[in-house]
Amino acid sequence: MDPREDRRRPDRHLVAIRLLRRIAILALVISAVLWVVPKVLTEVGVLGPGPEEYLESAERALAVARTYGAAPLPDYKKAEQERDRARELVRAGKRRESRQAAEQAMALAAEAQKQALVRRASTQQQAEVVYNDLDRQVNDLEKLYNVVTPGMEKEQVGELLTLMKFTRQSAGTVFLAYENKDWDTVLKGEPHAREVIASTRQKLESARR
């Protein structure tokens, strides 16, 4: 048989196709192994950061959440509990469980941070409303004082002036907190400032009569 005729046999294409198919299957298997094995090794704690590093990451996540005022929130407290559990598991040598607990602590800390940010935005808006309203009321008192005091006895004017100074100081505490972006103190100081302003307004109105 002529060797040239043998090289032209149709089944040569079938052999090539089978070979390419086997190469493709082998490539898929290798790809799957390269994708699955590292994940499995990471899951069991053989690859990736060690338990101590996960624990440090959890500590950092909690520290960041605290800076946003998340410490009082339930999710933050749960994150602390998971952090503590991760620490105990590290001591017990349970790598996988400690990593999972640390990851849970980080997730809870991140959620607490988000909640704190939302709450801070809401508190800031409330503080702004309080600041503007108290500022308006103090300005109204100043106008009322200027209307009431002309023609009064000097002693009575002195009493009302002292009262106005005390009112400004009471409201000023809230204003200073607002300028310092201490929204919680603004809201805490609001009731007392409103009480003083209301009392001063009543006395000024009585004096005008």
pLDDT of res. 47: 46
Q: Among 81, 101, 103, which residue's Cα sits nearest to residue 89?
A: 101
Same domain, 108 and 174: no
pLDDT of res. 209: 67
Same domain, 73 and 135: no
Residue 15 maps to a domain: no
Same domain, 79 and 126: no
- Burial level of 42, CB count in 10 A (0-12/13-18/19+)? middle
Measured at the alpha carbon of residue 83, what is the angle toward residues 183 and 54, in degrees to the nearest 5? 110
Supply 109's token pair.
């800390």
Same domain, 100 and 131: no
Same domain, 135 and 65: no
Residue 10 maps to a domain: no
The span from the CA of 159 to the CA of 162, in Å, is: 5
Residue 35 maps to a domain: yes
Same domain, 204 and 133: yes
Same domain, 151 and 110: no
Residue 12 maps to a domain: no
Entry pTM:
0.57
Same domain, 148 and 67: no
Same domain, 104 and 158: no
pLDDT in tens, the chain (209 residues): 445 555 555 556 666 677 777 777 877 777 766 665 555 545 555 545 678 888 999 999 999 999 988 999 999 999 999 999 999 999 998 888 999 999 999 999 999 999 999 988 899 999 999 999 999 999 999 999 998 888 888 888 899 999 999 999 999 999 999 999 999 999 999 999 999 999 999 999 888 76
Q: Of the candidates 92, 116, 140, which is a domain's last residue?
A: 116
The span from the CA of 125 to the CA of 132, in Å, is: 11
pLDDT of res. 89: 92
pLDDT of res. 10: 55
Distance from chain centroid for Cα 106: 13
Q: Is-contact 132 188, C-beta < 8 A?
A: no
Q: Is-contact 118 89, C-beta < 8 A?
A: no
Domain that holds residue 132: 122-208
The span from the CA of 130 to the CA of 114, in Å, is: 25
Residue 184 maps to a domain: yes
Q: Of the candidates 116, 144, 167, which is a domain's last residue?
A: 116
Residue 104 maps to a domain: yes
Same domain, 76 and 28: yes
Residue 6 maps to a domain: no
**E strands within the chain?**
none
pLDDT of res. 40: 54
Residue 16 maps to a domain: no
Domain count, the chain: 2
Q: Of the candidates 60, 86, 116, which is a domain's last residue?
A: 116
Q: Is-contact 171 112, C-beta < 8 A?
A: no
pLDDT of res. 29: 75
Same domain, 69 and 84: yes
Same domain, 74 and 153: no
